[in-house]
Structure 1
Amino acid sequence: MTTLPSLETLYSVIEGTWPPAESRAVGPWKIRLDNSGSSRVSAATAQGPATDTDIALAEGAMRAARQTPLFMVRAGEDALDDMLAARGYVIKDVTNLYAAPVAAVATERPPPVTSFEVWPPLAAQEEIWAAGGIGQGRLAIMARAVGPKTTLLGRLNDQPAGTVYVGIAAGCAMIHALEIATVHRRQGLAQHLTRAAAFWAQDNGADYLTLVTTQVNDAANALYTSLGMTLVGQYHYRRLPE
């Protein structure tokens, strides 16, 4: 049976490859502060048992930073989930965590001139990301990550067609912000970029390829399953309705 990273390891990989602008310890919480709009860098997480009074403490810290209260609820945090629900928090983005040994995905290199390693990202990549709703705030997250990292530019028909960011932490490479330009979708580029990310990860000492994607993203879930990646867990966010 293949051994895969634990959920705790994957949470640390998210933190290392997609870091917030600032984090603070407030009571039993880790409060993340960031103005990028990315939930991963603006959600509070419990570092130990929390009470209803502690939730109010976290809310105050996030509101003081002009940030809407948002909590990440991870495996085993059912009591926290129930307390947040009782306070009117609604579920946002049930998220799947995937992992696979790098060698299991790095099996076939993309066709020539399909994928290029680029750091820092090119303007063409930024345009593709912007069209998919990934703006300067998320580019700043990529820039501040301190471990090994790169982006991959995908090309089809001699045109920039897709882009992805990959970083390494805790021995795992994690894919973020995989975006294919609308006119170039359904031509296999997402699969080529994922395999290219695995080869880059292998060359840079990572043992596993990992990623997160929302449960409702059927295309992404089908892609990663088809590449032999394993669903190892889930988390979700709780937010107050506007």
Structure 2
Amino acid sequence: MNPDWAAVVDGTWPAAGYQTQGPFRLRQGQGGGSRVSAANRTGDVTSADIDAAESAMQAMGQKRIFCLRPGDEALDAMLAQRGYDILDPVNIYSCLAQQLTDIPIPRVTVFNIWEPLAIMREIWAQGGIGPERIAIMYRAPGPKTGLLLRHSDQPAGTGFVAIHEGIAMVHALEILPDHRRKGLGQWAMRAAAFWALDNGAQTLSVICTKANEGANGLYHSLGMKIVGEYHYRQRA
């Protein structure tokens, strides 16, 4: 099995709209960040194609931003020559969901809740995940759920999980600063794995920026493997 990870990302964290512009797929992000705003290559690209994609993105009122995946090296070089800067290189991790269900979740540590409670929205907001990104969660066709984490009888974190074609992907995992380094990230991923299996997904996955050493360490410690990567190039 070699999943189309780009399709998994789009299926679990969808843009508001999609548009074909020559050899590019454009995304309408509505303020939801790079993942739902970046264009990606679907065929061979010329300089004129990039010009047209840039114009279309600007017509949407969006920044000029492209998502580069393995195989996009020629486009990457073309964008670099145009003065595009690299932004947010990321790793995609995955594992069999069953791999993370060997330990029971401690009682009242993680709750599966959809729609998000006010406290979940507040925690996300503290981490910079505002209404535009919560709107993305509502757009995801599902199955989907929110995770509410608790520690010392207090709300401590939240996250979002959705499924696309048998693969569950975790997004927007946010732990409050006072509750970090207490194992909540592990319990969140384990709870996501139990939920995934209950909802027909055999694989659990997550996206993480390469610069986030703590999160990368967490996923490595859980035995998850890097199965893909990509980065953005953005022009001011």
TM-score under structure 1 length normalisation: 0.96
User: How far apart, in 1, do the equivalents of 2:176 and 2:28 lie?
Assistant: 30
1:36 CA displacement: 2.5
Matched, 1:28 2:19: no
Matched, 1:131 2:102: no
1:110 CA displacement: 1.7
Q: Which amino acid aligns with 2:200?
A: G
Q: Quote the residue 1:106 is aligned against.
A: 101
Q: Quote the residue 2:115 is aligned against.
A: 120
Q: Residues 187-198 of structure 1: matches in 2 within 5 Å?
A: 187-198=182-193
Aligned-residue CA RMSD (Å): 0.9
Question: Structure 1, residues 160-218: CA drift from partner, whole Å, max 9, x if none?
Answer: 10101000002100000000011111111111011000000011000100111100100
**Which segments of 5 or more consecutive residues in structure 2 lack a partner in the other structure?**
none
Q: Residues 114-193 of structure 1: matches in 2 within 5 Å?
A: 114-193=109-188
4+ residue runs over 4 A deviation:
none
Larger deviation, residues 34-43 vs 126-135 = 34-43
User: How far apart, in 1, do the equivalents of 2:48 and 2:100 lie?
Assistant: 46
User: How far apart, in 2, do the equivalents of 1:102 and 1:160 lie?
Assistant: 25
The total of aligned residue pairs comes to: 236
Matched, 1:227 2:210: no
Q: Which amino acid aligns with 1:213?
A: C
Q: Residues 191-230 of structure 1: matches in 2 within 5 Å?
A: 191-230=186-225
Q: Quote the residue 2:65 is aligned against.
A: 70
Find the partner of 1:94 among 67, 76, 89.
Answer: 89
User: How far apart, in 2, do the equivalents of 1:164 and 1:5 lie?
Assistant: 26
What secondary structure sits across from 2:168 in the alignment?
strand
User: How far apart, in 1, do the equivalents of 2:199 and 2:177 lie?
Assistant: 31
Larger deviation, residues 162-171 vs 31-40 = 31-40
1:107 CA displacement: 1.8
User: How far apart, in 2, do the equivalents of 1:135 and 1:86 lie?
Assistant: 34
- 8 Å contact kept, 2:5–2:228: no
TM-score under structure 2 length normalisation: 0.98
1:76 CA displacement: 1.0
**Which segments of 5 or more consecutive residues in structure 1 lack a partner in the other structure?**
none
What secondary structure sits across from 2:57 in the alignment?
helix
Q: Which amino acid aligns with 2:219?
A: Y
What secondary structure sits across from 1:48 in the alignment?
coil
Matched, 1:44 2:72: no
What secondary structure sits across from 2:111 in the alignment?
strand
User: How far apart, in 2, do the equivalents of 1:159 and 1:61 lie?
Assistant: 46
User: How far apart, in 2, do the equivalents of 1:228 and 1:174 lie?
Assistant: 16
User: How far apart, in 2, do the equivalents of 1:5 and 1:111 lie?
Assistant: 34
1:109 CA displacement: 2.3
1:52 CA displacement: 1.1
User: How far apart, in 1, do the equivalents of 2:95 and 2:136 lie?
Assistant: 24
Q: What is the percentage of aligned positions where both structures have the same residue?
A: 51
